[in-house]
Amino acid sequence: MDEIVKDFLIESNENLDRLDQELVKLESDPSSAELLASVFRTIHTIKGSCGFLGFGRLEKLTHAGESLLARLRDGEIRLNADVASGLLAMVDSVRRMLGSIQVSGLDGEENYDSLIELLSQLSRPGHEKAEAVAPPSEPQLAGPPSQAAPALALTETGVSEESRAATPSHESHAIDAPETVRVGVTLLDRLMILVGELALARNQLLQFSNRTQDAGLQAVSQRVNLIASELQEEVMKTRMQPIANLWNKFPRTVRDLALNCGKDVRLEMEGQDTELDRTIIEAIKDPLTHLVRNAMDHGIEDAETRQRADKNATGVLRLRAFHEGGQVNIEISDDGAGLNSERIRQRAVARGLLPAQAPVISERDIFNLIFLPGFSTAEKVTKVSGRGVGMDVVKTNVEKIGGTVDIQSTPGRGTTVRVKIPLTLAIIPALIVTCGGERFAIPQVSLLELVRLDDAENRTESRRKGIELVHGAPVYRLRGRLLPLMYLDRELGIRSAADRESNAPATINIVVLQAENHQFGLIVDEITDTEEIVVKPLGKQLQAIGAYSGATIMGDGRVALILDVSGLAQKAKLIWKAHEPAHHDAQIKTQAGSLQQEHGMLLVENGLEGRLAIPLSMVARLEEFPKTVIERTGNLEVMQYRGQIIPLVRLSGIIPCSSDAEALAHTQSIQVVIYAEGKRSVGLIVDRIVDIVEERAPIEPLISGAGIAGSFVIQHQVTELLDIPTIMRAAVPGLMNVVELEATGG
């Protein structure tokens, strides 16, 4: 039998059961508009479905019932025992017809004309006075006598029982043993919670039994372990839905869009049976729809363009879902024009999302730029898409449920967007770490790798293998790239700085994490284990902290916090805020631009900060003076230089750095870098001038702050690139004053 007919039968039988109860209730409370509306809806649904499925006789009967109900609803007639009996008789007849459909696929040969006639009589106002209809007991059914049994004269209590007794025996077999049961979502959620607790109790039991020698206990606990795992799996399955539930609407979407855009597109779907937790299905609905629309609008070209490009006029949009590594992958691929990396780059530059002369970045990184807010490559804004909102929302939504989005494209051949999402959100694999004596869980989806630095590496003189500082911010060189680091204890305020100093561990454990396309290392005390944890929500009071995504209960019964990886990264300002990149990158742009022209860099040292670089194009002269030349005017340090008074700037006053004041006190001379802007000059005091290098190195914009444009590796050392114009402007409020100084001083 047709799947759709089966569904119809199951649903209708459920509805009929409810209808019996509701009609009886309605009779005792005829004024309840709510009950009446519900009854009406049920009958209406059945009528609609059977019209659609071609069960004309059933439709006719339910139509008569519906008309009667409509009258009731509109208050034209009142519900009395006769009307109720009539309706209940209709319910029974409908049930019989459904039984017949179940068996034969047809809605039976019985004649319900008299019942229909009765229903229409009942729906005439004032029938209650016209006694003629009153004992509506002779329906004159033409069918077999057994099926004629639901006499309408029966009392409402009698109706259901007797009519059931009278129903053909095949019906009770077929319908009373349904293969599916509808269960409320809340019950499923409750079951899930209980299974989670069982899993915890199981863990405790296992720990306990491992400590004893009792073979009996060990055997039992093993058995409990197996049963609990299996139960957990099965309960998880009850929450699973095939992705087809979501995809089913796409053929229509694609058809409409194709018409709309004047394109010819064939939709292919693969892996519709792939199952996902229902909460996840709900969460990815909008992102997937958006990706499909996007592929239709921007990806696939119109037939003419395709033919010119030697492609089949019909474009193909392929949806593919499959399991891989405990995650679900969903691919949305089209065989359209592909992404134009040059155009994306230009667009990104035009929008200030990327420096004009940016260091070489990979094609994949360029493609991923389209996930930035405010980015759109569509040449024109269409009704469907192209407004530049969307791809970033797709990404945010997918990441919200612990998923990732990646995009691959070949020009002329097409684009594939791959969305990876976890199977479920309720029980997740997590890495357990300790910090300050407490355990924390880190969701495995954010985890990239673990790095362990032992004592020798950590203390090496060259510091090349250990942790280095960029402007005070710790970094680690992971395969040649700078990985920003954060200390979990520092972020969470678990330990005081002094405590940390005195108890510096011999080994350093770095958990390399990925959050919103940025990688960073989290330094923890110890890495314990990976475990399946049950995620429990945090109370309202703690959600505002932003560092935790939930809590869980460990095998020993203690609570452990689940770290919110992107929240932590944001707390540590490791991730650019959405509104920052434009401004921030503009700085790199100017700096990087001059860098490309000159390549020349002046390397200086300042205090304990390590090396700093100044583009040579910014440097007018290098000078050394005795300390005594420094004079003061107002709160500005100045000196006389070539017949001018020029302001002096100390780096430590601008960028937060720990200048080595003690060492400075001993030196008798100062090193000054003269910076000239037009006719105005400013002197920058540095501790030591190191070198001038001609080196082109990729700038890592990952760590920046006031006065720092970025950092890179020169002569095997992490070096920060100073943002000179910004520093000068900050140090000398209003360079216009300088002009005046020059005028008077000169």
Partner 1 sequence: MWSSWKLLEDKSEPMASQQFCTFTLQDDCFGVRVPQVQEVIRYQPITPVPLAPVAVRGMINLRGQIVLAIDLRRRLLLGNRADGELPMNVIVRTRNGAVSLLVDEIGEVIEVEESSFEAPPETLRGPVRSMIFGVYKLERKLLHVLDIEKVCQVSEDAEIDSALRPDWQAANSAEALADLPMEI
CA nearest to 702, candidates 467, 375, 476? 476
Question: Which is nearer to partner 1, 495 or 589 (by Cβ)?
Answer: 495
Q: Which among 194-202, 267-275, 584-592, 724-732 is the span making contact with partner 1, rule CB under 8 A?
A: 194-202
**Member of 239, 495, 584, 680 binding partner 1 (CB under 8 A):** 495
Q: Give least dist CB 536 to partner 1, A.
A: 5
DSSP states along 611-679: EEEEEGGGEEEEEEEEGGG-EEETTEEEEEETTEEEEEEEHHHHS-----HHHHHH-SEEEEEEEEETT
Residues whose CB is less than 8 angstroms from the CB of residue 284 and which lie 6 or more positions away in sequence, other chains included:
246, 276, 330, 397, 398, 401, 403, 419, 421
CA distances 728 to 269, 291, 532, 655, 737, Å, are: 60, 47, 54, 11, 13
Tokens describing residue 725: 């114009």
**Member of 173, 558, 688, 716 binding partner 1 (CB under 8 A):** 558
Helices (H), 123-214: 145-148, 156-166, 169-176, 185-211
Question: How many CA atoms does the CB half-sphere of 292 hold within 13 Å?
Answer: 29
Residues 325-354 as x/- pattern, contact with partner 1 by CB under 8 A: ------------------------------
Q: Does 159 bind partner 1 (CB under 8 A)?
A: no
Residues 197-216 as x/- pattern, contact with partner 1 by CB under 8 A: x--xx---------------
Question: Which is nearer to partner 1, 203 or 368 (by Cβ)?
Answer: 203
Q: Does 493 bind partner 1 (CB under 8 A)?
A: yes
Q: Give least dist CB 644 to partner 1, A.
A: 49
Q: Give the Cα separation of 704 and 459 in Å (integer).
A: 26
Residue with tokens 């609407």: 249
Residue with tokens 């047709």: 2
Helix 33-53, helix 56-73: angle, nearest 10: 160
Q: Give least dist CB 534 to partner 1, A.
A: 9
Q: Does 724 bind partner 1 (CB under 8 A)?
A: no
Q: Does 500 bind partner 1 (CB under 8 A)?
A: no
Write out the binding residues for partner 1, residues 524-543 only, by CB under 8 A.
536, 538-542
Total interface residues for partner 1 by CB under 8 A: 32
Q: Which among 43-51, 294-302, 550-558, 730-738 is the span making contact with partner 1, rule CB under 8 A?
A: 550-558
**Member of 508, 551, 588, 639 binding partner 1 (CB under 8 A):** 551
**Member of 548, 641, 675, 712 binding partner 1 (CB under 8 A):** 548
**Member of 557, 656, 733, 746 binding partner 1 (CB under 8 A):** 557
CA nearest to 42, candidates 76, 17, 72? 17
Burial of 563 by CB count in 10 Å (0-12 exposed, 13-18 middle, 19+ buried)? buried
**639 in Cβ contact with 632 (< 8 Å):** no
Q: Which among 109-117, 192-200, 346-354, 618-626 is the span making contact with partner 1, rule CB under 8 A?
A: 192-200
Q: Which among 247-255, 385-393, 556-564, 623-631 is the span making contact with partner 1, rule CB under 8 A?
A: 556-564
Question: Which is nearer to partner 1, 473 or 553 (by Cβ)?
Answer: 553
Q: Does 266 bind partner 1 (CB under 8 A)?
A: no
- φ, ψ of residue 382 in degrees (nearest 5): -110, 175
Q: Does 239 bind partner 1 (CB under 8 A)?
A: no
Q: HEC profile for 541-606?
A: HHHCCCCEEEEEECCCCCEEEEECHHHHHHHCCCCCCCCCHHHHHHHHHHHHHHHHHHCEEEEEEC
Question: Which is nearer to partner 1, 550 or 610 (by Cβ)?
Answer: 550
**Member of 560, 618, 645, 731 binding partner 1 (CB under 8 A):** 560
Q: Which among 232-240, 495-503, 617-625, 632-640 is the span making contact with partner 1, rule CB under 8 A?
A: 495-503
Residues whose CB is less than 8 angstroms from the CB of residue 720 and which lie 6 or more positions away in sequence, other chains included:
470, 471, 609, 610, 611, 612, 613, 703, 708, 710, 711
Q: DSSP label at 704?
A: -
Q: Give least dist CB 350 to partner 1, A.
A: 40
CA nearest to 581, candidates 343, 352, 349, 346? 352
Q: Does 432 bind partner 1 (CB under 8 A)?
A: no
**Member of 145, 184, 325, 437 binding partner 1 (CB under 8 A):** 437
Q: Give the Cα separation of 83 and 88 in Å (integer).
A: 9
Q: Give least dist CB 552 to partner 1, A.
A: 8
Q: Does 544 bind partner 1 (CB under 8 A)?
A: yes
Q: Does 189 bind partner 1 (CB under 8 A)?
A: no
Q: Does 486 bind partner 1 (CB under 8 A)?
A: no
Which residues of this protein are in contact with partner 1, per CB under 8 A?
Answer: 193, 196-197, 200-201, 436-438, 492-496, 499, 536, 538-542, 544-545, 547-548, 551, 553, 556-561
